[in-house]
Amino acid sequence: MAQLNPYLTFNGNCETAFKFYRSVFGGEFQQLMRFKDMPPMPDMKLPESANEKLMHIALPISKETILMGSDANPLMGEVKQGNNFSLTIMASSKEEASKLFSRLSEGGKVTMPLADQFWNAYFGMLTDLFNINWIITFDYPKKD
């Protein structure tokens, strides 16, 4: 069964916000990746000023919920209140991720096609026909 988590997007202050959230909820960051950690992508050359910004961060706040976030990709423009969050579905299989992505994107707009990613996940993003942002992901089992 899929798990649903909130994903927040910031205009450069994600790390500050998540340090605050950690002070509120406690715990430790489960993941923290910066834009500089991305492998080179010829079709997506980020400005050097984005290197230290957060590409992804995750803070478990209960056994069932993970608060996730990132700074806006500078190539995609700033986010504004109202489009600065997404609902993330953590699928239990690649097949479930594909099915949910396909259904949710009907009548909507795919913003990042569902595909294997360098961080060992099957991942995609879309905006549904009701203008709600979704992230669908399946994390492959970790290799020893």
Segment 40-60, tens digit of pLDDT: 777 777 778 878 899 899 999
Looking at residue 40, its pLDDT comes to 78
Looking at residue 138, its pLDDT comes to 96
The candidate with the shortest Cα–Cα distance to 56, out of 21, 93, 10, is: 10
Helix, strand or coil, per DSSP, at residue 3: strand
Looking at residue 34, its pLDDT comes to 93
Please name the residues in contact with 37: beta carbons below 8 A apart, sequence gap of 6 or more: 55
Q: Please give the model's pTM, rounded to 2 decimal places.
A: 0.70
**Calpha distance 49→75 (Å, rounded):** 12
Looking at residue 62, its pLDDT comes to 85
Domains of the chain, with CATH numbers?
1-90 (3.10.180.10), 91-128 (no CATH)
The candidate with the shortest Cα–Cα distance to 91, out of 8, 5, 2, is: 2
Looking at residue 37, its pLDDT comes to 87
Q: For the chain, which residues score pLDDT lower than 50?
A: none
Give percent of the chain with pLDDT exceeding 70: 99
